[in-house]
Amino acid sequence: MGKLYVVPTPIGNLEDITLRALRILKDVDIIYCEDTRTSSVLMAHYQITTPLKSYHMHNEHAVTAQIVGKLLGEFKAALISDAGTPAISDPGFLLVRECIKAGIEVECLPGPTAFVPALVESGLSCEQFFFLGFPPVKKGRSTFFNRLAEIDETIVLYESPHKIEKTLNDIAVHLGPDRNISVSRELSKKFHQTLRGTVTELTEAIKKQPLRGEIVIVIGKKLHRKEHST
């Protein structure tokens, strides 16, 4: 019986990868990745020559059964995403689920993910929090933000730069313009930046200087248990 390794990869800085992850990426028979062009940069940096094959949101339903069939033999594979931990707002869940159903061993290594450093450096409570990934673009968006309004604890979201103003506006409408938040971008990269303040303050700041790169939004607790921004 083979084995599937779920291997987190750096979210920006190529040094943010474990020695164990590098060993496994070298030892497996194949590495399934979102985009072979993106992953080949990491492989070249660490002189990893293991074959790469695409596994992404557009083909996962078509190729999952094929991968499972290989893993039922003496085949070992690693699953990576373009950045961070597979299955966390990235492809991977379907393959993991089907491997478990088939009795194939699955092991996820610890490693990089964007929401943890963003949460810690937000200065907002980390004791209990809800991670909800990307907000819906259209269908279910209002329901999503109504749900957020019912949550007392810290909330963590992902967002893209061209949608950040719209999302901040929705947060202001549903959760209140004075809610304390932080917005982090380009985590671990050269232009890594975290902004802290109220929804209104950060909305105005971003209008003056638009953000680039992937973004993590951390929303503080409800105002009846107000946290002061740092």
CB 208 within 8 A of CB 167: no
List strand residue ranges (DSSP E) for the chain, in order. 3-6, 30-33, 52-54, 76-79, 105-108, 129-131, 154-159, 180-185, 193-198, 215-219
Q: In this predicted structure, what is the pLDDT of residue 57?
A: 87
Count the Cβ atoms, other than its own, within 10 Å of residue 97.
13
Residues 128 and 194 in one domain: yes
Task: For residue 138, give the CATH number of its domain.
Answer: 3.30.950.10
Structural domain harbouring 45: 3-108
Residues 102 and 128 in one domain: no
DSSP lists the bridge partners of residue 3 as 76, 105
Domain boundary among 61, 77, 108: 108
CA atoms of 165 and 217, how far apart (whole Å): 12
**pLDDT digit string, tens, across residues 91-102:** 999 999 999 999
Residues 122 and 97 in one domain: no
Residue 230 located in a structural domain? no
Residues 219 and 172 in one domain: yes
Residues 101 and 10 in one domain: yes
What is the total count of domains within the chain?
A: 2
Q: In this predicted structure, what is the pLDDT of residue 224?
A: 60
Residues 141 and 193 in one domain: yes
Q: In this predicted structure, what is the pLDDT of residue 74?
A: 87
Task: Identify the CA nearest to 95 among candidates 78, 110, 83.
Answer: 78
**pLDDT digit string, tens, across residues 49-74:** 999 999 998 999 999 999 999 999 98
Residues 139 and 100 in one domain: no
Give the predicted TM-score (pTM) of the model: 0.89
Spell out, as residue ranges, where the chain has pLDDT lower than 50. Answer: 225-230
Residue 8 located in a structural domain? yes
Buried b (16+ CB within 10 A) or exposed e, 217-226: bbbbbbeeee
CA atoms of 206 and 183, how far apart (whole Å): 10
Task: Identify the CA nearest to 28 among candidates 95, 77, 71, 67.
Answer: 77
Residues 103 and 166 in one domain: no
Residues 143 and 70 in one domain: no
Domain boundary among 47, 78, 108: 108
